Structure 1
Amino acid sequence: MASASCVTRNHIDLWNERFLGEGPVPISFGIVLRGSLLPVIIWLVVLVFGCVIYGPVVAVVIGGLFVALFLAGFVFRRRSGHSIKCSFYGAVGGVLDKSMLGL
């Protein structure tokens, strides 16, 4: 995969596709987070709720789950030839996107 087109809208499907232009364009990490605001809020609410109700051990487990899913996505993207930046953005976007499948 060419590194020039690696960090594009083709790798991160943003909510409602209203944050990017028509064609493949480079994006920043802020746009990834802004496009995934709902899943970020849900992860944080579950994390805080688990910490307040059950204690910090649950928050560590939930945070560990997020990190494990992130690392799996990062490794899969690196093995398929993506750049480090593209793999990072894609892994974050992938975890946030896939965590919303049930909603």
Structure 2
Amino acid sequence: MRPEHCVTRNHIAVWQERVLPSGPARITFGMVLRGSLLPILVWSGAACFAYFVYNPLVATVLGGLFTLSFIVGFALRRMAKHSVRCSVYGALGGALDKSMAGV
């Protein structure tokens, strides 16, 4: 895959499409985070709720699940010959996107 085409909207779909540029363009880390505000708030809220209501161990398990989904997404993208940057952005966007499936 050519490096100049790796980090484009064609390869990384963040949760809210409205923050993306209209055509193929390089995606910044800020765009990935801005497009994923709702999933980030849901993950953070669930971790805080679990920490205060149940136990810090439960919040750690939730963080581990998120980290595991990020690592799997990163590894799959690297095996598909994406760049490291594209893999990081895609794994973060993918983990947040897949966690909000059905919402």
Q: TM-score, normalised by structure 2?
A: 0.94
User: What is the identity percentage for the equivalent residue pairs of Structure 1 and Structure 2?
Assistant: 54
The aligned residue for residue 61 of structure 1 is 61
Partners in 2 of 1:46 and 1:16 — Cα distance? 20
2:84 corresponds to which residue?
Answer: 84
Q: How does 1:4-83 map to 2 (within 5 A)?
A: 4-83=4-83
Aligned partner letter, 1:62: L
Distance verdict in 2 for CA 1:50–1:16, change over 3 Å = closer
CA apart distance, 1:15: 4.0
Q: Gaps spanning 5+ residues in structure 1: where? A: none
The alpha-carbon deviation at position 7 of structure 1 amounts to: 0.6
| C-alpha separation in 2, matches of 1:15 and 1:92 | 10
CA distance in 2: counterparts of 1:20 and 1:76, whole angstroms: 23
In the alignment, the residues of structure 1 paired with residue 23 and residue 63 of structure 2 have an alpha-carbon distance, to the nearest angstrom, of 35
The number of residue pairs the alignment matches comes to: 103
CA distance in 1, matches of 2:25, 2:13: 13
Runs of 4+ in structure 1 deviating by more than 4 angstroms, as ranges, are none
Where does residue 97 of structure 1 map in the other structure? 97
